[in-house]
Structure 1
Amino acid sequence: MKFCLLNIAYDNTFFGFQLQPNVTTVQGELLKALSPIGIKKIYGSSRTDSHVRSASTIIEMECNDITKVCKIVDSVKGIIVRGYFESDEFINLRHSFEKEYLYIFNGRLNQKMVQRAIREFLKGEVSGFSRDPGRKVLLSNISFSIKNTTTLFLFSGKAFSWNFVRIAAETIIRRSEGKIDDEEWSDLLSGSKRSRYKGDANNLILLNTRSPFKFNEYKSKNLKAIQARIFQDFYWLAGLDGVPVDIAESLGFVEGEK
């Protein structure tokens, strides 16, 4: 028995990745589609919130025929297969791969204020910016890019807790705008107070999951349709062909700690 890894993308019609009762989730729809061929467990590299898009999520399962699995997964509404890889052993996907989340803010922020807020944020107790502060956050960096009237934030790391990116992004934005005073900011960074701010899920996308494995490209028949839905609100990506691997590099992100 082989372990099959698929790099998938999905739109924002799902109530998150993880299986939940009575709602449509990515994991739930995949299990529904794959259970007829004997697949009962599917592991994911990330668990996105409700209505958060993903341009790159790694899933793993035991399977005998990866070609058949790719075809079935690619036929699930709202999901496409971007690539596939076979392994002789199980790979622990959680905390194994670097992920990049992109958050878009429809407003032009002051660059120096954003840099300062990010620098201070990265020195603080970041695990408190979550609906589940007990879960570990492995954040490596936050960078940003200002494009005309839009500010983009790129969060990089190996582990993100529930709502972390949305809460962190909105809190940094409000601090950059001067809407959070020094006392509240200090309390938030020390962990003595939890942030009450949270950004819109539709403004967030799991942009990339950086895997050390070389995935074989899968030519999805639904690429154009899903790609359009994944990036429908990210109008500044309209000129890009396909789902790029290194969007972050092409957008000229600035390191927050500089």
Structure 2
Amino acid sequence: MTMAYDGHLFHGFQMQPNQRTVQGEIEKALQKMTKGKRVIVEGSGRTDAGVHALGQVIHFDYPGNVIPADRMILALNSMMPMDIIFKECEIVSEDFHVRYSAKGKWYRYRVSLDRFVNPFKRFYTGHYPYPLEVERMQIAAKDLIGTHDFTSFAASGGQIIDKVRTMYYVNIEKDEKENEIVFDFICSGFLYNMVRILVGALLEIGNGKRPVDDFPRIIAAKNRQEVRETAQASGLYLYHVFYDELPKKYRQDLDL
């Protein structure tokens, strides 16, 4: 099932004791539908507290009689709180896994450039009220494309040992109407806080605090201390998960 949620009032996706989580809300609804049986929900990614999703994907094994996909989406949406909505539903083969079957993930990050924090955006964008040169960030982002060890962009606390990933696509544009910078990253997989750390470094480059060609040095260092900044959770969105081969328009790595 593909879903969207407003992460502001959630303590992340993953179930945690005595905390409101996305997984917890879904499993609570499924337990009602199965009259008390626990159904374990797997997510394509474990978004943190305050992080949003437009294209999170989950799977679960529903016990008992098969419920058609159209009825499942109606049933779950009728039981969801206002900050969760299911958008698509399909019955998949036994060998499908929402995380391991993914070919790539797309995260989007939005940064407001307003001088003061907009009260209507404060939970849905990051905030950076300093001078920025978008072109500097666009040039720097080219050095992220390809297969690299992203250790320098992984926060402590992650469980993954192998930190080599392939970055397929990075796009940075200014949304003039909203006065925001929009960052898009498509990668084979993301490490803990990786997108927020990348955005933090790119903002420093855009502001002139870092040189445009700093990413090769940072990547080679394999040291988290090289990038201290981590952008706020509020601007991050899990935008899409790819289960088929990525379209060529999102494969900037093929041009290397």
Shared fold (TM-score greater than 0.5)? yes
Q: In structure 1, what is the equivalent of residue 151 of structure 2?
A: 127
Compared CA separation, residues 184 and 61, structure 1 to 2 (3 A): same
Compared CA separation, residues 115 and 182, structure 1 to 2 (3 A): closer
Compared CA separation, residues 67 and 147, structure 1 to 2 (3 A): closer
Cα distance in 1 between the residues matched to 2:109 and 2:17: 28
Q: In structure 2, what is the equivalent of residue 25 of structure 1?
A: 21
Q: Is contact 1:49–1:162 with CA below 8 Å preserved after alignment?
A: no
**How many aligned positions are there?**
214
Q: In structure 2, what is the equivalent of residue 236 of structure 1?
A: none
**Per the alignment, in what secondary structure is the counterpart of residue 59 of structure 1?**
strand
> CA offsets per residue over residues 120-169 of structure 1, 9 Å max, x none?
34466423201137354443221111222321110112311111111111
**Per the alignment, in what secondary structure is the counterpart of residue 90 of structure 2?**
strand
What letter is aligned with 2:150?
V
Compared CA separation, residues 127 and 140, structure 1 to 2 (3 A): farther
Percent sequence identity over aligned pairs: 24
Compared CA separation, residues 159 and 40, structure 1 to 2 (3 A): same
Q: Does 2:80 match 1:76? A: yes
Query: For 1:1-258, what aligned pairs fall within 5 Å after superposition?
Result: 6-12=1-7, 13-36=9-32, 37=34, 38-63=37-62, 64-65=66-67, 66-74=69-77, 75-77=79-81, 78-95=83-100, 96-107=102-113, 109-122=132-145, 125-131=149-155, 132=158, 134=161, 136=163, 137-148=165-176, 149-180=179-210, 188-194=218-224, 195-212=227-244
Q: RMSD between aligned alpha carbons? A: 3.0
Q: Is contact 1:94–1:159 with CA below 8 Å preserved after alignment?
A: no
Q: Is contact 1:138–1:160 with CA below 8 Å preserved after alignment?
A: no
What letter is aligned with 2:195?
V
What letter is aligned with 1:134?
I
Moved more, 56-65 or 100-109: 100-109
Structure 2, unaligned stretches of length 5 or more?
A: 114-130
Q: Is contact 1:144–1:152 with CA below 8 Å preserved after alignment?
A: yes
Structure 1, unaligned stretches of length 5 or more?
A: 1-5, 214-248
Cα distance in 1 between the residues matched to 2:73 and 2:153: 37
Compared CA separation, residues 135 and 166, structure 1 to 2 (3 A): farther
Q: Is contact 2:143–2:216 with CA below 8 Å preserved after alignment?
A: no
What letter is aligned with 2:56?
T
Q: Is contact 2:107–2:237 with CA below 8 Å preserved after alignment?
A: yes
Cα distance in 1 between the residues matched to 2:183 and 2:169: 10
Moved more, 178-187 or 82-91: 178-187
* Aligned-pair CA distance for 1:111: 3.4
Q: Is contact 2:103–2:188 with CA below 8 Å preserved after alignment?
A: yes
Please report the TM-score for the alignment, with normalisation by the length of structure 2.
Answer: 0.72
Cα distance in 1 between the residues matched to 2:193 and 2:162: 11
* Aligned-pair CA distance for 1:47: 1.4
What letter is aligned with 1:116?
I
